Amino acid sequence: MKQRLSSILLLLLLPLLLSAQVYRTQILSPKVMSLQAHLADAWNKAPVIELHSEQQVSISFDEMSHEYLRLAYRIRHCNADWQASSMNELDYLEGFSENDLPEGATSEATTVEYTHYELKLPNEDVRLKLSGNYVVEIFDRDAAEEEALLLQVCFSVLDRKIGVDAKVSAQTDQAYNDKYQQLSFELQTPMGMIERPDSDIKILIRQNRRCDNQVFGISPYMTSGNSIRYQHHPSLVFAAGNEYRRFEISSHKMAGMGVDRLFFERPYYHAVLFADVLRNRSYTYDQDQNGRYYIRNREADALQTDYQMVHFSLPVDKPFAQALYLLGDIQQANPQAAQALIYNEENRAYECQLLLKQGQYNYMYALAVSSRNSENESLSLSQTEGDFWPTANEYQIFVYYCPFAGEYDQLIGYQEVVFN
């Protein structure tokens, strides 16, 4: 009887549990690597496209085999907080909500076999009718239900109705030219469009596309006429961090930037990086890509781009009290990168090995801490990389609008601003 009641309760709660899921771009299967999502033909631009434009989001990844798979994708509309919205598919999609993925291309003459897939949205099969946030889920039609979902990618569609004027300063409310950067911005709106800025407008801010320290739901500092200002808010003060570390593994023959040595040991080529050091005492400028990675092979075509086992090492006298992670888009290159590094007592160093596709990579070491809103675990760079005001960070500002009795969160403003 108790078991039956538990089952009934679970069925009743299931819709609530599903609706509470917060989506983010991530690999969900160990069979997938090298996930990238960006504006088509612009690898270093966020996946944000204009509504009813010719722009597309480009999604690519490798499935680590040469097996024939029947892969498909489906698209969901999301709220400003990246939970699934209540919109009907007929309201936000034109075409089919579930479609077959374009056929993949198999690797050639590589030590690691893979099939490369690419998807662009919107396309001939599906068009997007509303602005806002979307998640595309890619799955295997023939796999068991618990193994079917391979990955999910978040992207946004912009219907620009307002202007966003933003700036970043090292002269913050906490300190001047120290270890922080402060964001301030102004929304320029059509007169009378937004009656209740506190409730009708939702703001999402990310630093270098990070989700762990994002800011959501702050209130305006001042409203005057058609101007809505956001400034002097504690959540707009960000730890500045440091420039990302870099390495290059674009050749099997020549050690690239940051690589100590290369060797082959079946079944992989191995790239041992120079041992890293803590950088929390001083700042050195470097022209990084703010956490991104770029796939390239010096000696061959795209489908001959191979994988290498990359060895990371961060020597420290004793382990940190908190878990240590790699930070950056490298977590989308190999899902194992999202796992905590292991401290090797014998070598007195944090170590990990990741199978990565040839190319150029950014990364940092970060420690787990409580986030600023205490709801999710965030990452801190203060003990490993340091926080220095000159760091060239990117900030992404998303402005959503949902008036009273509105059905969904419209994305009406978007701005990227760089501190350099």
Instruction: Please choose, from the candidates 415, 23, 417, 398, the residue with its C-alpha nearest in 3D space to the C-alpha of residue 201.
Output: 398
CA–CA distance, 292 with 46 (Å, rounded to integer): 11
pLDDT score recorded for residue 245:
98
Cα angle 97, 101, 105; round to 5: 170
The CATH architecture of the domain made up of 15-158 is Sandwich (2.60)
CA–CA distance, 380 with 340 (Å, rounded to integer): 14
> Is the per-residue pLDDT at 153 higher than 80?
yes
Instruction: Give per-residue pLDDT as tens, 388-405.
Output: 999 999 999 999 999 988
Q: What is the mean pLDDT of residues 3-21?
A: 50
Q: What is the mean pLDDT of residues 246-268?
A: 97
Per-residue confidence band for 262, with pLDDT thresholds at 50, 70 and 90:
very high
pLDDT score recorded for residue 420:
81
Give the fold, CATH level 3, of 163-240+389-418: Immunoglobulin-like (2.60.40)
Cα angle 125, 130, 136; round to 5: 50
Is the pTM here over 0.85, yes or no?
A: yes
Instruction: Give per-residue pLDDT as tens, 15-74.
Output: 444 447 999 999 999 999 999 999 999 999 999 999 999 999 999 999 999 999 999 999
Number of H helices, E strands in the chain: 5, 31
CA–CA distance, 179 with 116 (Å, rounded to integer): 42
> Is the per-residue pLDDT at 166 higher than 60?
yes
Q: What is the mean pLDDT of residues 75-85?
A: 98
Q: Which helix (H) or strand (E) holds 34?
A: strand 32-39
CA–CA distance, 158 with 4 (Å, rounded to integer): 47
> Is the per-residue pLDDT at 374 higher than 70?
no
Cα angle 307, 325, 396; round to 5: 90
- Tell me the pLDDT of the chain averaged across its residues: 93
Half-sphere exposure of 147 (CA within 13 A, CB side): 6
Q: How many CB atoms lie within 10 A of CB 345?
A: 9
Per-residue confidence band for 2, with pLDDT thresholds at 50, 70 and 90:
very low
Q: Which helix (H) or strand (E) holds 100?
A: strand 98-100
Instruction: Give per-residue pLDDT as tens, 306-316.
Output: 999 999 999 99
> Is the per-residue pLDDT at 8 higher than 70?
no
Helix (H, G, I), strand (E, B) or coil at 310: strand
The strand pair at 307-315 and 268-273 is best described as parallel
Exposure string for 353-376, b = 16+ CB within 10 A, e = fewer: ebbbbbbbbbbbbbbbbeebeeee
HEC string of 175-207? CECCCEEEEEEEEECCCCCCCCHHHHEEEEEEE
**Four-point Cα dihedral 107, 267, 62, 65, nearest 10:** 70
> Is the per-residue pLDDT at 200 higher than 90?
yes
Fold agreement between 15-158 and 163-240+389-418: yes
Half-sphere exposure of 411 (CA within 13 A, CB side): 26
Cα angle 184, 46, 60; round to 5: 165
Q: How many CB atoms lie within 10 A of CB 200?
A: 15
CA–CA distance, 316 with 345 (Å, rounded to integer): 10
Per-residue confidence band for 419, with pLDDT thresholds at 50, 70 and 90:
very high
Which range has the worst mean pLDDT, 162-166, 169-173, 260-264, 366-370? 366-370
- Domain boundaries, given as residue ranges, for the chain: 15-158, 163-240+389-418, 245-369
**Sole residue written with tokens 């730890």:** 239
pLDDT score recorded for residue 75:
98
CA–CA distance, 253 with 256 (Å, rounded to integer): 9
